[in-house]
Amino acid sequence: MGRFVVTLGALVLSCLIWSTASPAAAAGDWGDVVGAIVWGGDKVPEPEKLKVDKDEKSCLAKGPLFSDRFVINGKNKGVRWVMVWLIDPEGKAIPIHPDYPTAAAVKGTKVTIDQPCCMFEPHLVGLREGQVLVAKNTADIVHNYKLDSIGKNPNVNILIPAGKEVEIDPWFAEKSATTGSCTIHPWMKMYVRAFKHPYFAVTDADGKFVLSKAPAGKYRMVIWHEEGYVTGGKNGIEVDIPAGGKADVGEIKFKPSE
């Protein structure tokens, strides 16, 4: 009888755990989200040549510099440097696939941004809470990192000599992006966003993105460019992720006025 009570108690506890867990997490159902952000205007803008009026020898060593504000693929109209990420429509925590590092494992890992030739590389950075941003300067001249954040994220202005680097943290999943610049070379701009989960991506040179091993179910996907939010605003668009399948959102048109 005693053994039956213990077994029954364990069964009740197991049912409670099952009932409070996310269906996607409990069932192990996961899928991918794919798509592309494309220019929605009539004419693809020409690359904007930057006015480089300081440290020209170093900055122009590899040729003219062009703005990263609108980087459009002339062949398919894909827009680079757009960030997409998932949110739960009810504000709940999003289940994370076991193949991704846990929050504890993520803590202290590093994401690097560099200034090799008077431009930030990459122009847009995403990281998870707990990660450290490595501000690197592999150029042969002095640069600085001026980070302007709203909320708890870093507000710093750090001078970095040639060949040096500095670690910047902590980072939190704030609602606003951090803007970065080099005040020595005022044309240099970059952006940082942090998240509690790994379901974020930056579009590539073709405007494409993939969110891999996301939990199955109905979520929303937010789309952001330095000019502002794209379709759906801060609430994004609905995405229904099939278990073991792929949610293809197709080509999402981007216009600066949106």
User: If pLDDT is split at 50, 70 and 90, which confidence band does 86 have?
Assistant: very high
**Domain assignments of the chain as residue spans, ordered by start:** 31-254
Per-residue pLDDT tens digits for 204-213: 999 999 999 9
Write the secondary structure of 148-192 as one string of H (helix), E (strand) and C (coil): ECCCCCCCEEEEECCCCEEEECCCCCCCCCEEEECCCCCCCEEEE
CA distance 211 to 247: 10
Which residue, chain included where needed, has tokens 């003219």? 64
Are the CB atoms for 103 and 129 separated by under 8 Å?
yes
CATH top-level class of 31-254: mainly beta
Whether pLDDT at 105 is above 80? yes
CA-wise closest residue to 223 among 203, 204, 205, 197: 203
The pLDDT, as a whole number, for residue 255 is 79
